Amino acid sequence: MRTQVVIVGGGPSGLLLGQLLHRKGIETVVLERQTRDYVLRRIRAGILETGLVNMMREAGVADRMEKECFVHHGTCISYENELFDINFKKLIGQNVIVYGQTEVTHDLYDAREATDGKTIFEVEGVQIRDVDSDAPYVTFTADGKDQRIDCDFVAGCDGFHGVSRQTIPETVRKEYEKVFPFGWLGILSETPPVHDELIYANSSRGFALCSMRNDNLSRYYVQCALTDTVEEWSDEAFWDELKRRIPESIADELVTGPSIEKSIAPLRSFVSEPMRWGRLFLCGDAAHIVPPTGAKGLNTAASDVHYLNEALAQYYLDKDSDGIDQYSEKALTRVWKAERFSWATTNLLHRFPDQSEFDLKMQRAEIQSLHYHETAQKWFAQNYVGLPY
């Protein structure tokens, strides 16, 4: 088998790259370790930056998103019983939308099937070979048979635990990581959202987040210890704790109900450099992870896709390799800015086990600065809606 670009990983970043390249006449094959149904059962964040929204339109997969999304003109931050709004529309004339990552992935799979794009599911033993040469290829097992795809390039969109990053030799690869000393306990419930905008809450009991997926599907989180387990948290205990961490006026409006999904996610910042080795390019979680506080995970993956799509189009359509040569540098410049914003918001809103009284006073002063100073709010808004590519 032969194609121009092998995309390892059938999540949203791999599918978006495949769809964008297809519209430019560039052939791809997508390899996915799981089944399509498994991929579509993953529950992930749903805040889409302006750049990702525009890329969905460019990829021709925006129709359902445009009809069903929630447009958010700002967000809310609370500390103890204080609540204030950061109005993106007023501050910088932009907004974000809420549209679940599962829905993004669903739309992209439908589009790929409509164009007869080749996707191979339930692949095992993927090996990316000879990417430091002019003739890379990928081997794998599917349907019990060993297979090989020869290609020009490989896009590694297979996540933190995938094979793509590990293909880059340790002598070449440098990794940076910060693990935070807490996690997020999250639940999904078939209840109406408690507020029109997301609420990020800093309280003496720890961080909380009130979010949503649609008019009757809400997503809530509370900061928890890394040693906690889902089994230790009943629905009743979760709702009680959430109410303690948000302003009373919001807690009084909260509609509770049985959870339909409950999980604990650890928080970490991670970056692997470089994001290109030979004819292999890393995208998304294969190269970097951000704590979810800044809503940057999917959006940072999308910015990688933007740079790689442009680079490959330049290579194939213009016979110019400058884009692929500059891919890693361009992608990492924006990645580190997203890491900074996610790190800053995580430090701003969470309780850390080693915080002194001085640290807590400084944290409160930082939140009040954001509350009362337009310059601080503009910086927050610009980063939240997404820095330009």
Token look-up 């525009």 returns 54
**Interatomic CA distance for residues 8 and 12, integer angstroms:** 12
Angle, helix 297-318 to helix 322-349, in steps of 10 degrees: 170
Instruction: Give the active site residue among 72, 106, 306, 350.
Output: 72
Judge whether 243 counts as a catalytic residue.
no
Let me know if 312 is exposed, middle or buried by CB neighbors in 10 A (0-12, 13-18, 19+): buried
Distance between CA atoms of 155 and 178, rounded to whole angstroms? 26
Among residues 99, 109, 307, 384, the one annotated as catalytic is 384
Residues 31, 96 contacting (CB under 8 angstroms): no
Do residues 219 and 102 touch, judged by C-beta distance below 8 A? no
CB 195 within 8 A of CB 76: yes
Asked about 378 being catalytic, the answer comes back as no
Residue 176 designated active-site = no
Q: Is there a contact between 176 and 340 (Cβ–Cβ < 8 Å)?
A: no
The active-site residue, picked from 137, 200, 307, 316, is: 200
- Has 372 been annotated as catalytic? no
Q: Is 288 a catalytic residue?
A: no
3-state secondary structure 289-303: ECCHHHCCHHHHHHH
Of 246, 252, 263, 249, the residue nearest 207 (C-alpha): 246
Count other C-beta atoms under 10 Å from residue 274's C-beta.
17
Q: Among residues 136, 193, 247, 292, which one is catalytic?
A: 292
- Label residue 30 exposed, middle or buried (CB < 10 Å: 0-12, 13-18, 19+): buried
Cα–Cα distance measured from residue 379 to residue 118, given in angstroms and rounded to the nearest whole number: 42
User: Counting Cβ atoms within 10 Å, is residue 26 exposed (0-12), middle (13-18) or buried (19+)?
Assistant: buried
In DSSP terms, 372 is beta-bridged to none
Active-site annotation holder among 106, 288, 296, 306: 296
CA dihedral sign, ordered 201, 202, 204, 206: positive
Catalytic annotation, residues: 72, 200, 292, 296, 384
